[in-house]
Amino acid sequence: MIDKAKARERMVELAESVKYHNDLYYQQAAPEITDYQYDMLVKELEALERDFPEFADPNSPTKRVGGEITRIFQSVKHRYPMLSLDNTYSESELSDFDQRVFRILGEPCEYVGELKIDGVSISLIYRNGKLQQAITRGDGVQGDDVTANVKTIRSIPLQLLPGDYPDEFEVRGEIFMPRAGFEKMNRQRESEGESTFANPRNATAGTLKMQDSSIVAKRPLDAFFYYLLGENLTGETHFQRLNFLKSWGFKVNDIRIKAQGIKELLNYIAEVDHSRSQLPYDIDGVVVKVNSLSQQEKLGFTAKSPRWAISYKFKAEEAITRLLSIDYQVGRTGAVTPVANLEPVFLAGTTVKRASLHNADVMAGLDVRIGDFVHVEKGGEIIPKITSVDFSSRHGESLPVTFIEHCPECKTQLVRSSGEAAWYCPNEKGCPPQIKGKLEHFIARRAMNIDSLGEGKVEVLFEQGLLRNAADLYLLKFENLLGIEKILPQEDGKAPRKVSFREKTVENILKGIEDSKSVPFERVLFALGIRHVGETVAKKLARHFAGIDAIIEAKYENLISVDEVGDKIAGSIMNYFSDAENLAMVNQLRIAGLKMRIEEENIIQRSILQGKTFVVSGVFSGFSRDEIKQSIEQNGGKVSGSISSKTAFVLAGDNMGPEKRKKAEELGVKIISEEEYLRMLEI
């Protein structure tokens, strides 16, 4: 066996070699060795670290594989607030920004234009060239420590290349998921029967908050960096500092420009807008910054954003194509949504074949007809939408479209309640998409969190006759599930996907179902899918009544006495629990072991704050924001997100939002400190 001295020497040598080749691959795009040779270097280093853990570096390249479990993401206050940027969608407003900058400076300035990556903002802290901490943007004042997960992203340097960098500094950037990696990941999830992600940004945000960093390591995350912060930094311009970051080993986007004036900047924006669909990642605009750091300092900041920067956001891309037909989809609540089938058209980097028409009123307002040429828009939506009709191209024989009268799935007569835009299928117990939708809602992350049962698996188990309602989940046995296979057809020309219930898959499903028995009562109540009862209302009902039996027995007047419960919600709750089948299912869930009473610590303990509404703002020394809100509710108070004449107190911590303070002063709402709040509880 190698002796300690040689082991230490070899570990240092291997670490440097891996860092060098990592930089060549991810930053320079100029690898010198094969993937296999690189993997062999990493494996040798891993073996030495196992044998000689006393020499292992916390920032070793082997940390890229993850493995650290983070149960709770600690909240960390930013040393420098992560402010948002003012947005504009028009060239005239960008010209106004240029004129404001000139008025304040009294002299011309140079601008830098950079791509606005559609991802998740991150702040990294480095000391002595080593990554110390990674913090999400959060509310701008404080964010979550996601260091273990960020260390797995191979384009982020754990240790910088040799260079003239400060002992300590902060760098900000955007973590994102390239389209190719996102699509490959979704295809793999489909093949395994897992639910797919809606878009790369959502996938990135969800991945960064995963508890197991080894799973994060397998996700195709990447990052670009664009802002350097710290004391005694060198460089006179923002562009120079971008080059510093690149020379230190950070990935900096090269599609950027130094513009001498607004005209040159607008040309750059037009070029980016024209070619953005060809980029391998999503962008939603261009960020414009004054280049000179001394001019930035002179311009300063508003309460919310720097005066020396602005975000030019691209308008949603639009195309014109022909409407071929209209399908009608039934959702979990029975709402019927019209979806347009289109002549395929390339839009925002993808071929679009379908678009939402929302509801009967929207269809009538558009006066859309089969054969029409329609304008299709794709912004942040998952499904594009039709925004208007090209009436000039309509042929004379077209006929108005009439919304269907019967459910397309079960043929039940549709109904429409007064004051609602949607038509509904009332056959909630016998309409297949409603049954499957309720099951998918029940297992969702914010409800029972049975993530081992993706959408495809629920559909298969429903078709196999094993699931008809939520209680059936808790009757599933290993022998019922093992060996089930089904090919599920895919829409929009995608390949069919196969769902297979192999041994490990079945074990994971049953474990997920068993683990769901520990989910707190308020989420069980939300999971039932009672119409109009969302997460917030479910929490308020749970805290008010403490258990399911009290809610079942509650009269109308009892229900509307609960904050945020009005006529519509009270009626929906009473209708749900007057149904014998619903009551039987709830009782089966109770027998299965689900929590049907609220945990003791979440019950309203005292009514000292009864009738008082609080708005919470800032950072507190003795509580997290969630803890202080929970304290208010446990003492009978109500927490609101905005200040109004009904607000009793604004509970202000450090760095209270200036707009909230201004609004409170205008309305005469009393602002209290954390200490005053605690004294209030002692009354």
Nearest by Cα to 556 from 543, 568, 547, 548: 568
* One-letter amino acid for residue 197 of the chain: F
Written in H, E and C, the secondary structure of 192-222 is CCCCCCCCHHHHHHHHHCCCEHHHHCCCCCE
- Rounded CA gap, 630 and 634, in Å? 6
Q: Which residue has the higher pLDDT, 126 or 333?
A: 126
Per residue in 88-121, pLDDT (tens digit) is 888 899 999 999 999 999 999 999 999 999 999 9
Nearest by Cα to 392 from 373, 410, 419: 373
Give the torsion sign (CA, 287, 291, 297, 300).
negative
Q: Could you tell me if 436 and 376 lie in one domain?
A: no
Q: Is residue 403 part of a domain?
A: no
Report, in angstroms and rounded to the nearest whole number, the Rg of the chain calculated over CA atoms: 29
97 phi and psi angles, rounded to 5 deg: -60, -45
Q: What is the pLDDT of residue 681?
A: 78
Q: Could you tell me if 26 and 128 lie in one domain?
A: no
pLDDT category of residue 381 using cuts at 50, 70 and 90: very low
Q: Could you tell me if 667 and 620 lie in one domain?
A: yes
Q: Is residue 28 part of a domain?
A: yes
Per residue in 233-276, pLDDT (tens digit) is 889 999 999 999 999 999 999 999 999 988 999 999 999 988 88
Per residue in 564-622, pLDDT (tens digit) is 788 889 999 999 999 999 999 999 999 999 999 987 655 555 567 888 889 888 777 76
Q: Is residue 418 part of a domain?
A: no
CATH number at residue 621: 3.40.50.10190
Q: What is the DSSP string of 599-643?
A: -GGGS----TTTT-EEEEESB-SS--HHHHHHHHHHTT-EEESS-
The residue behind tokens 């960064």 is 208
Q: Could you tell me if 348 and 481 lie in one domain?
A: no
* Euclidean distance between the first and the last CA atom of the chain, given in angstroms as a whole number: 70
Q: Could you tell me if 9 and 52 lie in one domain?
A: yes
Least confident of 266-275, 335-344, 674-683: 674-683
Q: Could you tell me if 437 and 301 lie in one domain?
A: no
- Rounded CA gap, 330 and 338, in Å? 9
Q: Is residue 175 part of a domain?
A: yes
- Rounded CA gap, 250 and 26, in Å? 9
The percentage of the chain sitting over the pLDDT mark of 70, rounded to a whole number, equals 91
Longest dimension (CA), the chain: 89
Contacts of 13 (CB under 8 A, 6+ apart): none
pLDDT category of residue 194 using cuts at 50, 70 and 90: low
pTM: 0.53
Domain-terminating residue out of 583, 602, 621: 602
Q: Could you tell me if 461 and 341 lie in one domain?
A: no
Residue 259 has a CB neighbour count (10 Å cut-off) of: 20
Under 8 Å between Cβ of 374 and 392: no
443 phi and psi angles, rounded to 5 deg: -85, -5
Q: What share of the chain is helix, strand, coil (3-state, %, to 5)?
A: 40, 20, 40
- Rounded CA gap, 473 and 519, in Å? 15
Q: Is residue 412 part of a domain?
A: no
Q: Cite the active site residues.
A: 116
Q: Is residue 347 part of a domain?
A: yes
Give the torsion sign (CA, 462, 465, 471, 474).
negative
Helix (H, G, I), strand (E, B) or coil at 84: coil
CATH number at residue 587: 1.10.150.20
Helix (H, G, I), strand (E, B) or coil at 495: coil
- Rounded CA gap, 220 and 123, in Å? 19
Q: What is the pLDDT of residue 251?
A: 94
- Number of folded domains in the chain? 6
Q: What is the pLDDT of residue 33?
A: 80
Q: Could you tell me if 500 and 451 lie in one domain?
A: yes
Q: Could you tell me if 228 and 293 lie in one domain?
A: yes
Nearest by Cα to 586 from 505, 493, 595, 270: 595
130-136 vs 120-127, strand pairing mode: antiparallel
Domain-terminating residue out of 499, 518, 537: 518
Q: What is the pLDDT of residue 505?
A: 87
Phi-psi domain of 371 (left: phi exceeds 0; alpha: psi -120 through 50; beta: other): left
Domain-terminating residue out of 466, 493, 518: 518
Q: Is residue 608 part of a domain?
A: no
- Rounded CA gap, 120 and 62, in Å? 25
Mean pLDDT, rounded, for 309-338: 89
Q: Could you tell me if 42 and 102 lie in one domain?
A: no
Q: Is residue 58 part of a domain?
A: yes
CATH number at residue 341: 2.40.50.140
Per residue in 477-517, pLDDT (tens digit) is 999 888 887 776 665 545 566 777 888 889 989 999 999 99
CATH number at residue 36: 1.10.287.610
Per residue in 209-229, pLDDT (tens digit) is 888 888 898 899 999 999 999
Q: Could you tell me if 529 and 512 lie in one domain?
A: no
Q: Could you tell me if 246 and 275 lie in one domain?
A: yes
- Rounded CA gap, 164 and 154, in Å? 23
The percentage of the chain sitting over the pLDDT mark of 90, rounded to a whole number, equals 43
CATH number at residue 271: 3.30.470.30
Residues spanned by the domain of 52: 4-65
